[in-house]
Chain A
Amino acid sequence: MASLDHVPTHAQRRRRISIAVAVLAVGWLLTLGLLYVAGYRPLVVHSASMAPTVGTGDLIITQAVRPAAVAVGDVVSFHDRTRAGRLVTHRIAEIHRTGRRIVFVTRGDVNEGTERWSSAADARIGRLAVRIPFAGYAATWLTRLPITLGLLALISVLVANAVLAARATRSANRAVARSLLAAMASAATVISAPIALGATDGAFSAVAANAGNSFQAANSFCHAAPVTVTPNADTYVDESDKTSNFGTQAAMQVSSVPGQTMRALVKFALPTPPADPNCSLTSVLLRLEPLVAFGGPTLQAERITSAWAETTATWNTQPTTSNVNIATTPASTTTVSFDVTAQVLAGANNGFLVRYSASGFGVQAYPTREYPQDRPTLVLTYG
């Protein structure tokens, strides 16, 4: 049995407790500081995008290493700029060196999508070093603001009590100093934990992809130039002069005044298609140049489906037309252009009949092939 001389007094016990608290707190801070300097960081894992390797609520410790030190398969933490710069912890799938930067492709083990990011070759990135399952839950709870404030309040009360108890001793100032030292170290410890503790965020991804879309261009395209031809026959027919032919006139007229309707007839010798088997007709334009400025009413070009002759066509013998693929265009002071591609592909060897789409419009004249300039043209484009 120990003698009473060896039983510590209350003051001695307080002194030993103060010293022990101070030593533990300083030890914690020193350890934390050394780990920090060595590049280690504690992180709470917030999602299961790396399950089962790392799970929600785990506490992981990463070590800062050179990018060249990591390998495919390592788990690293990085700031993902596609997720507003949040810290993400995923596995490296690919590594590429581009100049002085190293490009990483990473992916969460449960994810379908990947992240592509880069790091300077002389920078540091965090590589998973230690995983403590579920410790992140406890660490998060302990570093909550109310808990931190409560611990700091408790330290304040204990310091006050210690100072009061030291009042009766002869070495009051030394006791107070020891208590304050222990208190400061404890407070620093309490505050350091949440500051040191980081988090790696939830980073899930999923992908829907349509693969195998294949595109192959022909080995040779059509190189034939567009071809422009002028009419081999053109005239007009006049309702007010139903038996007359105007095939030698230098202009063909269009009118839709009731009883005085006029319609233009124009025909072309279609050119021989290019010999290049890669060529096909892609566009045909019928163009008329008005003699006098005249805008407003819509004109239409109809495919002629029966034979006619420039020197014999009259109102009474005018050819028949098809009402399929009628090309329309507003009359214009400049070139009137009809897209007659479909009509030519359907067979337009008998040419086109041009008239107003609506009734009530007066005479408009267009040069014929007998006119020295601005004759009708047919422009054929191949592709």
Chain B
Amino acid sequence: MSRRFALTVAAIGLVCVLAGAQTWAAYRDTTASAANSFATGTVVLADNDSGTAMLSLSNALPGATDAACITVSYTGSLASAVRLYGTTTGSGLDAYLDLKITRGSFSGAPPAFDSCATFNADATDYAGSGSGVIYNGTLAAFPDDYAAGRVDPLPAGPETWTTGETHVYKLEVTLQNNPAAEGKAATQTFTWEARNT
């Protein structure tokens, strides 16, 4: 009787082990799959501005505009998602500045920093504002942190950047014809941020 009982206990134990295996594996997959991997690698993003601002308007009148191009390159080893956002300071001119950002590339040798000579916009109409355009609105409405940032190129189809990937961004700013903008100023930082996916 005891032998039969012992064998039953052992069998029940093994059955429980095997039956629990599937459930346990599912649990690990859905809640802690990342726990099985230790990440090693880098996330590195750079631009070609050498610390020089790309846009400027001084004593600007309505219709005044400036445009410049910047090259952003990814050399990290981990695949990353890139978002574009910015921070603004000043006395409120950002509400009267129209900003248009177009993604593309240079045909042939890239020109010196901030020149848009040989710039070609991406063919895709990302945001319904024309080929390559990823933002078209006021500077005030431009996202100011990563969480709200402009997914590159679109929230619906975010692009994963891999090492060696490079894109050129053309930024154009135009002062609106609005007397409320008189005497106002703004200072802007444009930020591209990469986070490993």
Which A residues have a C-beta under 8 Å from some C-beta of B? 44, 46-48, 56-57, 81-83, 86, 111-117, 137, 140, 144-145, 148-149, 152-153, 155-157, 159-161, 163-164, 166-167, 172, 176, 180, 183, 194, 197-199, 201-223, 278, 280, 282, 383
Interface contact B46-A215, CB-CB below 8 Å = no
Whether the pair B38, A47 counts as a contact (CB closer than 8 A) is yes
Interchain CB contact under 8 A, A215 and B40 = no
Instruction: List 6 additional A-B contacts (Cβ < 8 Å) besides A204-B43, A383-B63.
Output: A44-B35, A56-B39, A214-B56, A214-B188, A216-B57, A383-B177
Q: Which residues of B contact A113 (CB under 8 A)?
A: 146, 193-195
Interface centre among A57, A115, A152, A206 (most CB of B within 10 A): A206
Q: Do A176 and B5 touch (CB < 8 A)?
A: yes
Interface residues on B, range: 35 or more
Q: Is B129 an interface position by the 8 A CB rule?
A: no
With contacts A164-B6, A204-B43, A208-B46 taken as known, whether A222 is within 8 angstroms of B61 at the C-beta atoms is yes
Closest to A117 in B: B147
B17 within 8 A of A: yes
B195–A209 contact, CB under 8 A?
no
With contacts A82-B146, A82-B147, A278-B61 taken as known, whether A217 is within 8 angstroms of B183 at the C-beta atoms is yes
**Complex contact B191–A205 (CB within 8 A):** no
How distant is the Cα of A43 from the Cα of B63 in the complex, in angstroms? 56
Query: What are the 6 A-B residue pairs with the smallest beta carbon separation, nearest first?
Result: A156-B13, A202-B39, A160-B10, A163-B6, A167-B2, A199-B35
Known: A199-B35, A204-B42, A208-B191. A214 touches B146 (CB 8 A): no
Within B20-56, the residues touching A (CB, 8 Å) are 20-21, 24-25, 28, 32, 34-47, 49, 51, 53-56
- Contact yes or no, A216 B185, CB < 8 A: yes
Distance in angstroms between the alpha carbons of A116 and B83 in the assembled complex: 14
Q: B139 — which chain A residues lie within 8 A by C-beta?
A: 215
Q: Is B78 an interface residue (CB 8 A)?
A: yes
Q: A211-B189, A217-B60 known; A206 and B17 CB under 8 Å? A: no
Q: A46-B38, A113-B193, A163-B9 are in contact. Are A206 and B185 (CB under 8 A)?
A: no
CB of A156 to closest CB in B, whole Å: 3
**Are B179 and A215 neighbours in the complex by a CB distance under 8 Å?**
no
Decide: B61 and A221 in contact? CB cutoff 8 A. Answer: yes
| A/B pair count, beta carbons within 8 Å | 225
B28, B34, B188, B189: most-surrounded residue (chain A CB, <10 A): B34
Query: Within 8 Å of chain A (Cβ to Cβ): is B133?
Result: no
Chain B: residues with CB nearer than 8 A to chain A?
2-3, 5-7, 9-10, 13-14, 16-17, 20-21, 24-25, 28, 32, 34-47, 49, 51, 53-63, 70, 72, 76, 78, 80, 90, 93-94, 96-97, 139, 145-147, 173, 175, 177, 179, 181-196
User: Which chain A residue has the least Cβ–Cβ distance from B92?
Assistant: A217
Interface-centre pick from B2, B24, B96, B177 (highest chain A CB count, 10 A): B2
In the bound complex, residues from chain A placing their C-beta under 8 Å from that of B72 are 208
The reply to whether A215 and B187 form a contact with Cβ atoms under 8 Å apart is: yes
- Considering only CB atoms, which chain A residue lies closest to B97 in the complex? A215
Would you call B57 and A215 a contact (CB within 8 A)? yes
Q: In the complex the two chains form, is A215's CB within 8 Å of B76's CB?
A: no
Would you call A207 and B14 a contact (CB within 8 A)? Answer: no
B173 and A215 within 8 A (CB): yes
Task: Give the shortest distance, in Å, between B115 (CB) and chain A (any CB).
Answer: 14
How far is the CB of A47 from the nearest CB of chain B, in Å? 4
Check A210/B190 contact, CB under 8 A, given A47-B39, A216-B185, A221-B179.
yes
Q: State whether A145 touches B175 (Cβ < 8 A).
A: no
Nearest CB of chain B from residue A19's CB, rounded to whole Å: 19
Taking CB atoms, residues of chain A closer than 8 Å to B60 are 215-218
Chain A residues, Cβ within 8 Å of B147: 81-82, 115-117
Residues on A with beta carbons closer than 8 Å to the beta carbon of B3: 164, 167
A217 close to B182 (CB less than 8 A): yes
Check B190 against A46 for contact (C-beta < 8 Å).
no
Which A residues are in CB contact (< 8 Å) with B54?
210, 213
